[in-house]
Amino acid sequence: MSLQRENNSGEAQRAIDLLQEWRSALISAAVTGKIDVRKTT
């Protein structure tokens, strides 16, 4: 059971790392104007 917990923990950490990388890329794209984040109504 400990091995499975370690595996799940590793998968969770990988998901966290990917989300942080995606967040940084999204913020960078918004700041540099590569994506339009203005609200349109």
Model confidence pLDDT, tens digit, residues 1-23:
577 877 888 899 999 999 999 99
**Tell me, what's the pLDDT at 37?**
87
pTM of the predicted structure, to 2 decimals: 0.69
Residue 41 has pLDDT above 80, yes or no: no
Sequence-distant (≥ 6) Cβ neighbours of residue 29 within 8 angstroms: 35
Q: Is 36 left (phi over 0), alpha (psi -120 to 50) or beta?
A: beta
